[in-house]
Amino acid sequence: MSVADSTTADLGLPEEKVAELAIDKNDNVEKESDDEDGEEEEEGAGEGEKTQKKKRKNKKKNKKKKKTGLGAAGQTSPPSIPVSQLFPNNSYSVGQICDYVDDNKYRTTSEEMRAKDRLNEQQLVDLRRAAEVHREVRQYARSVIRPGMDLTTIAELIENGTRTLVEERGFESGIGFPTGLSINHCAAHYTPNAGDFVEIKEDDVLKVDFGVHVNGHIIDSAFTMAWNDRYKPLLDAVKDATNTGIREAGIDVRLGDIGAAIQEVMESYEIELDGKVLPIRPIRNLCGHNIGQYLIHSGKSVPIVANRDQTRMEEGELFAIETFGTTGSGYVQEEGVCSHYAKTSDGQPRLPSAKKLLHSITKNFGTLPFCRRYLDRIGEKQYYLGLRHLVDQDIVTAYPPLVDIKGSYTAQAEHTFILRPTVKEVLSRGDDY
């Protein structure tokens, strides 16, 4: 099967999309067939006609074909070729397409909705480019991450790969947020600070959460890795729950209803550890979210348990559905040394060192989240006092690690999708998950 056919099948495109691709291929076959018929006619013609038709045939041969690029199959290992070179003319892969149902079914064929869809073409190009970077970086990362590697090496592997493939250019393209590498009972918001060389162990459960942006349009996707098969039910639970949330999501759908569907699926799983059968619970105070331009959390939260939130999803919104399962209490709290930060207001600090640091944060990250390693990378030194002042003044928000009870294990699965006027597109979907 060709690369294009494989991508279509694996991403679960609807029959209509597959049919469109098939029509294009048939058109090419018909053109080739017409050329062959023309050659047969030439054999029965006179010498003069033969010469003229031969010239015409040669002209057809010399006609340049449109450059389509190698696609993801042309990537190196480790990845080093920017995706814009593999997918020229913005020919990035379309995500998983899900047709709307029930009251929104008309949208799929509505000419009015198609016209609205075309207005967002550049945003879709940006998101698909970021999604392609995410898929290629994570494919390599999943193939090399293993016990014995330290978290700093893993973080730099992912982040340097992202910078290369997206052709990092400040606010034009780059990393969406610091790479989350949370182990076991730590569910989220852990990335190594300088000098942190914690190593993965054979029995660890590792959550890998990273983001890519193009023009501020962020792809946020996460997966969980484990090297002991006993954790498979936990990993399966979050994958199933996330896919359920994506399936239930749509225009005018209530957020609380999505949470109820996710909770029902998550709680249908259990796991046996050390001779004990444990329930798998959703972590009730973690949730998905909508995403704005240069804003990883843009106001709406998608719960992973049932609640009475009547807020609805709306046309054009970009969401990250992420679910967290745990063998612990189902509730996380802040604990440990903080590494994640984001500028969340435009206040003016009083401390001179804080003013200088704020200028650097605004210039390099804007409202995109950052971590201490990123401050080190841009040359900031002795910044902790100024950073602390910015947090105390509510200009920068700190996001410490989030942990369940010690001895428990947590897992995460996450995808980004957009509610287009005509269809729901799961942008970060890939062959892996």
Identify whether 289 is a catalytic site residue.
Answer: yes
Identify whether 209 is a catalytic site residue.
Answer: yes
CB 238 within 8 A of CB 413: yes
Cα distance between residue 236 and residue 20, in whole Å: 34
Identify whether 217 is a catalytic site residue.
Answer: no
Cα distance between residue 313 and residue 404, in whole Å: 29
Cα distance between residue 48 and residue 94, in whole Å: 50
Catalytic residue among 217, 289, 389, 415: 289
Identify whether 229 is a catalytic site residue.
Answer: no
Cα distance between residue 263 and residue 238, in whole Å: 10
Quote the tokens at residue 300.
């709406």
Identify whether 134 is a catalytic site residue.
Answer: no
Catalytic residue among 126, 132, 322, 380: 322
Q: Is the peptide bond before 282 cis (omega within 30 degrees of 0)?
A: no
Identify whether 199 is a catalytic site residue.
Answer: no
Query: Could you identify the residue written with the tokens 């389509």?
Result: 68
Catalytic residue among 248, 317, 414, 425: 414
Cα distance between residue 389 and residue 374, in whole Å: 18
Alpha-carbon distances of 220 from 88, 289, 417, rounded to whole Å: 24, 10, 9
Catalytic residue among 132, 159, 209, 248: 209
Catalytic residue among 220, 248, 380, 404: 220
Residues that are catalytic: 209, 220, 289, 297, 322, 414
